Copies of this chain bind each other. A is one copy, B any other.
Amino acid sequence: MTGATRVVVLGGGFGGVYAALGLERLAVQGARIHVSLVSRENYFVFQPMLAEVVAGDVGILDTVSPLRQLLRHTEIFVREIEGVDLDRQVVVLGAGLTPRLQELPFDHLVLALGNVTDFRGIPGFPEHALPFKTLAHAVRIRNHVIHVLEQASVESDVELRRAMLTFVVAGGGFSGSEVTAALNDFLLRAIHDYPSIPRDELRVILVHSGERVLERELTSGLAAYATSALAEAGIEVVLSQRLVAASARSAVLSGGRRLDTYTLISTVPSSANPVVEQLGLPMLGGRVECDATTRVRNRSSVWAIGDCSLIPTPDGKPCPPTAQHAIRQSRTAASNIAACVRGAPLQRFAFTGLGKLSALGHRRAVAELPGGLRLAGAPAWLAWRALYWSKLPGASRKIRVAVSWLADLVLPPHPVELNLIAGTGATQAHYEPGEAVFEQGDIGDSLFMVLAGQLEVSQTNGGAEQVVSRLGPGQYFGEMALLGRHPRTATARAIAPLDLLVLPAADFLALAANLSEFRAGFEETARTRASADAARAAGSAPSAPG
C-alpha cells in the first residue's frame, strides 16, 4: 500500500493485539493505514488464565492464540527489539535466523510493551526467584514444582525433604493470590501420585506486605474474605512482611525469619520495560506519561497503551494496569491514529472499569461487578470462569479451554515435567551465610567464581574438619573435581552473603579444551591446590580445593 501511513505496534499482549485489530478494522473501512506488529512470541497469551496453566486445569497451549490467526491484515515480526530511534522514526529489530540488521520505519509508533518483573536490588532474587508473568514462566514454575516433588519423593534426609516441600510465593496482588491458590490446588491433587511424600510436610506460604491480600485491588470486606479463603485452603498467609533475600534453598523475611525452600515465586516488584526506558520519554513510576488521547506527552506520533503507559481516567486518576483498561485504551489509540491521518479531532479515553475478579482456589473466587454487585465463593468462581471464557479470542480457543476444563473434572492430574532445556550456560547463584555451595564427597558438576562476598573451604580428614582457606571476589574454585572428574575433595560454605558465577561442567570443559589461556590458568591453580592438599594430608598449609 504505497503512500499509506505506517503504524508500528510494539508488543503482542492485550494492548498491542487490540490496537492492531482496531487499526486493521479502520484500514478495512478505508483508512490508508499499514499496520506492523513486533512481538517476541508468535502468539497472544490470555494472561488471566496463566495460573490455570500452573495448576494444569488447562493445557500448556490452551490459553494462547497464534498472532496470525488473530491479525489477518497486520504484518507480524516475531523478533526481539534491539532499539527504537525516535528521531529517525525507525524500530531496529533483533537478529532473526540471520544476524542481518533490519529496520522498520514508522509514521506512528504504538508502545504496548507492558512492564517487567524486576528482581534487581533484592539479594538472590535475580538468581533464584521464579517470576510469574509470561507463558514461559508458568510452564517453568509447573516444571520446577514437579521436579521438586520428584526429588522430594526419593529424599531420605527429613530436613532437606521438608525444605523441598515448602513453596513460597511473594506478593498478594491479583497474580500472586491466583498463582498461590492454583499451586496449592495442584499440589493437593498431585501428591496422591507420590505416596512416599508425607502429606503433612507440604507447605504453601504466601508472603504479602499489606494487612490483607488484594487490599489495594478490592473493597476491604472482599479482601478480608479472600485472605481467610486462602487460609482455609491450607495456605499459610504471612502478612505485613516482605522477602528481603533468597538463595537456592531459602527465602529470608523482613522480620528476619528464614524459610527453608527450593521454590520461591515472586510477582513483585515490577518496573519499566528496558526498551521503553531507553527512549527518553516522560515517565512516572516506570510508566510513559500520556494525555487522555493515549498520545505520549509532547509527542505527535508516539502513543502508549496498557501497563507501560500512564493514562488519566476522566476523574484524573491514572488507569489501573488491567487487561480491560488496555483493551479500551487500544481502541482509543487506534481511532485517534486514524483521526490524525485524516486530520480529524482526537477522542479522549473515557472508561471507568467493568469490575474486578480474582480466583482463590478450591473453586472459590471474589468478584466486584458493575452496579455494585459483590460475590464471593463458588458463585464468584463460576462468574470468573464464565466471564473469562467469554473473553477468550476465537471459537477454537473457547472449545479447547472448555474441553480441558471438562477433562480436568473427569481425568486424573497429569504431573509431567516437560524437560526441554538441554544446557543453560553460565548462571549466577546467591548463598546466604552458613549455606554450603557443595560438600566434600558431592558430585562435581560446576565451576564457581566469586563475584561478591566470602566463603570458607574446609576439609574433613579422619573425622576432624579443618578450614583450609577463605576465598573472596575474583577467586574461583571447584575446578579440581571438573578437571579430575572425581567427587568434591572439600566443603565450600558461605560466611557472608555470597554471589557466584556458575559455569556448568560441560561449558567449562568446552572452554578449557579450546581456549589455551583459559585452561592453563586453571590447571596451574589445580596443581598448586592439589599439592597443598597432599602436604596437608601429611600435616601442613592451606589452599582452596574443590
The interface residues of chain B lying within 8 Å CB-to-CB of A155 are 96
Q: Do B426 and A78 touch (CB < 8 A)? A: no
What is the number of residues of chain A that contact chain B, defined by CB distance less than 8 Å? 87
Task: Say how far A59's CB is from chain B's closest CB, in angstroms.
Answer: 6
Given contacts A148-B97, A396-B412, contact A417 B43 (CB under 8 A): yes
Tell me the A481-531 residues at the B interface (CB within 8 Å).
487-488, 501, 504, 507, 510-511, 514-518, 521
Q: Do B193 and A66 touch (CB < 8 A)? A: yes
Cα A424 to Cα B517 in complex, Å, equals 23
Given contacts A64-B416, A193-B69, A417-B41, contact A514 B487 (CB under 8 A): no
A342 part of interface (Cβ distance < 8 Å): no
Tell me the A392-429 residues at the B interface (CB within 8 Å).
396, 399-400, 403, 407, 411-412, 414-426, 428
Q: Do B511 and A426 touch (CB < 8 A)? A: yes
Cα A59 to Cα B521 in complex, Å, equals 49
Closest B residue, CB atoms, query A420: B136
Cα A441 to Cα B98 in complex, Å, equals 12
Q: Do B426 and A424 touch (CB < 8 A)? A: no
Tell me the A39-89 residues at the B interface (CB within 8 Å).
40-43, 59-61, 64, 66, 68-69, 75-78, 82
Given contacts A418-B61, A443-B99, contact A514 B94 (CB under 8 A): no
Copies in the complex: 2
Task: Say how far A97's CB is from chain B's closest CB, in angstroms.
Answer: 5
The interface residues of chain B lying within 8 Å CB-to-CB of A160 are 98
A307 part of interface (Cβ distance < 8 Å): no
Cα A77 to Cα B69 in complex, Å, equals 42
A151 part of interface (Cβ distance < 8 Å): yes
Cα A400 to Cα B59 in complex, Å, equals 11
Q: Do A510 and B501 touch (CB < 8 A)? A: yes
A164 part of interface (Cβ distance < 8 Å): yes
A388 part of interface (Cβ distance < 8 Å): no
Cα A439 to Cα B100 in complex, Å, equals 8
Q: Do A151 and B414 touch (CB < 8 A)? A: no
Q: Do A151 and B96 touch (CB < 8 A)? A: yes
Task: Say how far A523's CB is from chain B's closest CB, in angstroms.
Answer: 13
Q: Do B151 and A412 touch (CB < 8 A)? A: no
The interface residues of chain B lying within 8 Å CB-to-CB of A428 are 510
A284 part of interface (Cβ distance < 8 Å): no
Cα A387 to Cα B392 in complex, Å, equals 36
The interface residues of chain B lying within 8 Å CB-to-CB of A511 are 426, 501
Tell me the A424-452 residues at the B interface (CB within 8 Å).
424-426, 428, 438-439, 441-445, 449, 451
Closest B residue, CB atoms, query A75: B154
Closest B residue, CB atoms, query A412: B396
A253 part of interface (Cβ distance < 8 Å): no
Cα A311 to Cα B263 in complex, Å, equals 45
The interface residues of chain B lying within 8 Å CB-to-CB of A76 are 150, 153-154
Binding site for B on A (CB under 8 A): 40-43, 59-61, 64, 66, 68-69, 75-78, 82, 94-101, 135-136, 139-140, 146-148, 150-151, 153-155, 160, 164, 193-194, 196, 262, 396, 399-400, 403, 407, 411-412, 414-426, 428, 438-439, 441-445, 449, 451, 474, 476, 487-488, 501, 504, 507, 510-511, 514-518, 521
Ordered by A's residue number, 29 sampled pairs between the chains whose C-beta atoms are within 8 Å are A42-B147, A42-B415, A43-B416, A43-B417, A59-B59, A64-B416, A66-B414, A76-B153, A78-B151, A99-B438, A99-B443, A99-B444, A99-B445, A100-B441, A101-B443, A139-B420, A140-B420, A396-B411, A396-B412, A400-B411, A403-B403, A403-B407, A449-B514, A449-B515, A474-B516, A476-B515, A501-B515, A517-B517, A518-B518
